[in-house]
């Protein structure tokens, strides 16, 4: 069970101010500080449930399935769509169910002005630490994902919202079809396997090698792909999972883009 986030000032999830007061259960109208500098030019429009359903069924080839419990950890299909930007210095994603209902968000945090400038000017940000917060619709942090600064291989630390570590996602190779081990208490409980060397689609298996989930990158059209930085994925979880494997699979689906994007621009 996730520990509730205590009352306090936190980064405003709506982006209209620097901080917003969280009363322990919900966001309030009280804000402080100026709106952060908008370094990015967004071209997103309203999310269209029909388009998301098409993305699932036609883009990823996933047939409609029974609806889950309506949360990030109980839906059998997750649609992870990166916010569309012409200029990207901060990763942001929205997470939906297969019918297009939003389940939460993934927001990159802790980006200093220097890091944003470096990211805008080149690909050297692959050597910086990246932190992501997975938040539900109430703004409560469910998972913390930290990819420490790397030189060669990526590693992602997965924590619960209260900071308790769950496990790690560890890159295993640099040449050929990339693989990541899902580690828990020093033991490998699963693996992410790219299905081609460009790492567009992934199979997630348990410790026996049985596929338990699949990540499929969806094609969003020539103009959107050529002129923006957005990457969109559909995640299909084949059967109910228990923690820690469940949290590691959800974290994998929301992290694989951040981990691999740096490799694709760098060492490949």
Q: Hey, where are the domains in the chain?
A: 1-36, 40-265
pLDDT-based confidence at residue 199 (cuts at 50, 70, 90): low
Asked if pLDDT for residue 68 goes beyond 80, the answer is yes
Residue 43 vs residues 130, 208, 224: alpha-carbon distances, Å: 24, 43, 10
Is the bond preceding residue 244 a cis peptide, omega within 30 degrees?
A: yes
How far apart, in whole angstroms, are the C-alpha atoms of residue 253 and residue 159?
A: 15
Percent of the chain with pLDDT over 70: 71
| Average pLDDT score over residue span 236-260 | 87
Main-chain phi, psi angles of 97, to 5 degrees: -90, -175
Strand partners, 222: none
| Maximum pairwise Cα distance, the chain | 51
Label residue 2 by pLDDT band (50, 70, 90): low
**Res 36 pLDDT > 90:** no
Mean pLDDT of the chain: 77
Most confident of 110-124, 167-181, 194-208: 167-181
Closest CA to 107 of 214, 262, 266, 258: 258
Q: What was the pLDDT predicted at 175?
A: 84
In this predicted structure, what is the pLDDT of residue 127?
Answer: 57
Per the model's pLDDT, the better-predicted residue between 121 and 170 turns out to be: 170
Average pLDDT over residues 27-49: 60
**Do 154 and 259 form a contact (C-beta atoms < 8 A)?**
yes
Task: Tell whether the model's pLDDT for residue 81 goes beyond 90.
Answer: no
- Provide mean pLDDT across the span 84-110: 76
Question: What mean pLDDT is predicted for residues 66-83?
Answer: 90
What's the CATH architecture for 40-265?
Beta Barrel (2.40)
Query: Residue 119 above 90 pLDDT?
Result: no
Average pLDDT over residues 30-40: 60
Residue 149 has pLDDT above 90, yes or no: no
- Mean pLDDT, rounded, for 93-104: 91
> Is the model's pLDDT at 121 over the cut of 50?
no
| Residue 120 binned pLDDT confidence (cut-offs 50, 70, 90) | very low
Is the pLDDT score of 77 beyond 80? yes
Position 222 confidence tier, pLDDT thresholds 50, 70, 90: very low
Residues facing 171 on adjacent strands: 180
- What are 33's two structure tokens? 């500080």
Question: Which band of pLDDT confidence, cut at 50, 70 and 90, is reported for residue 151?
Answer: low
Are 143 and 137 in contact by the 8 Å Cβ rule? The answer is no
Residue 123 has pLDDT above 60, yes or no: no
């Amino acid at each position: 069970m996730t520990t509730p986030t205590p009352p306090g000032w936190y980064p405003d999830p709506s982006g209209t101010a620097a901080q917003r007061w969280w009363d322990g259960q919900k966001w309030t109208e009280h804000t402080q500080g100026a709106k952060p500098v908008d370094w990015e030019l967004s071209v997103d429009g309203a999310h269209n449930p029909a388009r998301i359903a098409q993305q699932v069924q036609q883009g990823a080839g996933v047939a409609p399935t029974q609806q889950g419990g309506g949360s990030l950890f109980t839906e059998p299909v997750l649609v992870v769509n990166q916010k569309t930007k012409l200029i990207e210095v901060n990763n942001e994603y929205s997470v939906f169910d297969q019918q297009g209902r939003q389940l939460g968000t993934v927001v990159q945090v802790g980006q200093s002005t220097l890091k944003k400038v470096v990211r805008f000017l080149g690909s050297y940000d692959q050597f910086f630490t990246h932190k992501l917060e997975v938040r539900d619709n109430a703004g409560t942090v469910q998972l913390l994902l930290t990819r420490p600064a790397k030189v060669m291989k990526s590693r992602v630390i997965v924590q619960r919202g209260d900071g308790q570590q769950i496990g790690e996602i560890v890159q295993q190779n640099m040449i050929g079809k990339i693989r990541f081990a899902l580690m828990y208490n020093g033991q490998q409980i699963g693996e992410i396997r790219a299905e081609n060397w460009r790492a567009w689609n992934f199979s997630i298996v348990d410790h026996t090698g049985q596929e338990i989930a699949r990540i499929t990158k969806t094609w969003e059209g020539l103009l959107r792909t050529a002129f923006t930085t957005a990457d969109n994925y559909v995640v299909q979880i084949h059967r109910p999972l228990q923690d820690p494997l469940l949290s590691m699979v959800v974290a994998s689906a929301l992290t694989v883009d951040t981990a691999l994007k740096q490799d694709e621009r760098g060492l490949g």
